[in-house]
Structure 1
Amino acid sequence: MTLRAAVLGHPISHSKSPALHRAAYAYLGVDYAYRAIDVTEAALPGFMRQVRDEVRAEGGWRGLSVTMPLKSAMVAEVDEVRGVARALGVVNTVAFEFDGTDFDQTRLVAYNTDVAGIVNALRHAGAASAPTAAVLGGGGTAAAAIAAIKELGAGSADVFVRDVGRAAEARAASAAVDLPIQVLPLAGAAAAVAAADVVISTLPPRAADALAGELAAELGEEIAARPGVLLDVAYDPWPSRVAAVWQDAGGTVVPGLEMLIYQAVEQVRHFTGLGEAMPAGVIDVMCDAVGAPRRVF
């Protein structure tokens, strides 16, 4: 039987997850079909009922990658949430666990591999320990960013959002991982962002363009040191305007594609059950599949 996995979200046609996962499964020699499925938040419960019916009938499913706008809504559709995902209430990975061929007993277990993806990408880029930190955006990916900043040793973070009344997921993440945050308006944030050791933009493509203009002016002033590390999770189009401004000022830029690869590596571990036994070479083929430089993971 061809086993199944998929990435869910809306919109989803831009996703590079199919290329990453298909390359990994081909290298591993396992017969997994992985595709992108457009699912809205309203349609998610019905879709998951269908998935469970298919699992009970024949097995087959091994994993779901979960992207926006489903990262919080998926929590209600699984049997268990593990690790940092339980604290955050935000998931991006669902693995199917079963005993032998008794598919009636299959359990859907959710994780958050975004946190590991962010931490590993920033560490690889040379991010400082215990950094001063800023997060752009206040949704589900921002929640993972806050947890990652905590793991990097930061004592607090500034979270800049377009609407300070709509940062519930960021505030919940702050409480869950015990990292104090200030939620501040994105307008006028350039000076604070320019001074941070680590900046993580979780905004949609082009949503940070206005800030980029302010940053260009701010970073053009004579400052004591060059900018720190910027991770922009929006990888299409690339480079984003804010990433280009940051790099032009001498700062280190981490493309969202690199974070995507790091978190996808963890998903493949969960979906295949290989865990730490997964061959190192699989990471090279995943990088090759999306035109990214090979990394030491």
Structure 2
Amino acid sequence: MTSNEGPRRAAVLGSPITHSLSPVLHRAAYAELGLAHWSYNRFDVDEAGLPGFFADLDASWAGLSLTMPLKRAVIPLLDAVSGTAAAVEAVNTVVLTEDGRRVGDNTDIPGMVAALRERGVDKVESAAVLGAGATASSALAALSQICAGPVTTYVRSRARADEMRGWGERLGVDITVADWADAAEAFAAPLVVATTPAGTTDALAAAVPDAPGTLFDVLYEPWPTALAAAWTDRGGAVVGGLDLLVHQAVFQVEQMTGRSPAPLAAMRTAGEAALAAR
């Protein structure tokens, strides 16, 4: 947050980065909030280039959004990290304060919770997670807030299984790890979170039962995924990746600009239009 009324800069960093919708969402927020002196761009930065990028930041910079592969690599470059981000060892938001400090946070976790609550999912008795990557750890952190009972995660390798058990212990989640070959069993849960790359769950679409619970598929392009389409056809509720992207960006805008609430509806509309134009 800053009171400086001169030009203010923010950006999303990652590699690859050309696909990112973050500039569309943040610029829509700035327009709605009347922040004409704010700009938001994208930069292709990999892990090797991140320290040099940080070294060149001046007082005009207010914040950064981070995507793969930088969410863990950025941590040694920060002055402070929120408990939320530390819990999953992943930072997707950096706020540059007026006194020059660089503070890291993770808005994916509250973004997931907000996206689910927007669709009426406040508490579930159990849940399932498809996948075991960085997004899966954020999903476990979100589920620690809304899932009262066990979480079953479906993974492909023993190393991933051990990693997910570790995350479960750290986050206080009652976790069971199952083999990916049995992933269709996940669909009996009232909430299923799919965190895998595009195409990974397509083969599972035919196994979706009638009247399933809620699916949270973190992908937004291509959309709908085969799994999300089958879920909708069988009468289930679906929360998509754009919902997550918009909600986590809302928290980023509020932290970087100090203005609250961020304009959720305008940001979602801009994101939907941008995706439709691709």
Moved over 3 A (4+): 167-172
Q: In 1, distance between residues paired with 2:101 and 2:187? A: 45
Match 1:10 to one of 15, 19, 26:
15
Please give the per-residue CA displacement for 1:60-100, whole angstroms capped at 9, x wherever unaligned.
1111111222222222221111131122211211111123x
Aligned equivalent of 1:53: 56
Q: In 2, distance between residues paired with 1:169 and 1:13? A: 30
Offset at 1:160?
A: 1.2
SS of the residue 1:204 aligns to: coil
Please give the per-residue CA displacement for 1:29-53, whole angstroms capped at 9, x wherever unaligned.
2222211222223x2xx33333233
Unaligned runs of 5+ in 2: 1-5, 274-278
CA distance 1:54–1:71, shift in 2 (3 Å)? closer
Offset at 1:211?
A: 2.4
Aligned equivalent of 1:19: 24
Single out whichever of 86-95 and 18-27 deviates more from structure 2.
86-95
Single out whichever of 71-80 and 242-251 deviates more from structure 2.
71-80
Aligned equivalent of 1:227: 212
Q: How many residues are matched?
A: 267
Aligned equivalent of 1:253: 238
Offset at 1:186?
A: 1.7
Aligned equivalent of 1:132: 126
Q: In 1, distance between residues paired with 2:256 and 2:171? A: 26
Unaligned runs of 5+ in 1: 100-105, 221-225, 293-297
Please give the per-residue CA displacement for 1:199-250, whole angstroms capped at 9, x wherever unaligned.
111111112112224x24xx26xxxxx2111011110000001111111111
Q: In 2, distance between residues paired with 1:153 and 1:231? A: 14
Q: In 2, distance between residues paired with 1:199 and 1:61? A: 38
Q: In 1, distance between residues paired with 2:134 and 2:101? A: 24
Offset at 1:286?
A: 0.8
Aligned equivalent of 1:290: 271
CA contact (8 A) 1:12 1:36 kept: yes
Match 1:156 to one of 147, 150, 157:
150
CA contact (8 A) 2:228 2:238 kept: yes
Offset at 1:166?
A: 2.8
CA distance 1:48–1:118, shift in 2 (3 Å)? same
Offset at 1:162?
A: 2.7
CA contact (8 A) 2:254 2:261 kept: no
List aligned pairs for 1:35-184, cutoff 5 A.
35-41=41-47, 43=48, 46-55=49-58, 59-99=59-99, 106-127=100-121, 129-166=123-160, 170-184=164-178
SS of the residue 1:200 aligns to: strand
Please give the per-residue CA displacement for 1:138-173, whole angstroms capped at 9, x wherever unaligned.
121111110111100332211112333235653443
CA-atom RMSD in angstroms = 1.9
Is the aligned partner of 1:266 residue 2:251? yes
CA contact (8 A) 2:126 2:147 kept: no
CA distance 1:286–1:128, shift in 2 (3 Å)? closer
Offset at 1:128?
A: 5.6
SS of the residue 2:11 aligns to: strand
CA distance 1:71–1:54, shift in 2 (3 Å)? closer
Percent of matched pairs sharing the same residue: 46
Offset at 1:123?
A: 1.6
Is the aligned partner of 1:207 residue 2:200? yes
Q: In 2, distance between residues paired with 1:107 and 1:172? A: 31
The amino acid of 1:37's aligned partner reads F
SS of the residue 1:40 aligns to: coil
CA contact (8 A) 2:152 2:177 kept: yes
The amino acid of 1:32's aligned partner reads W
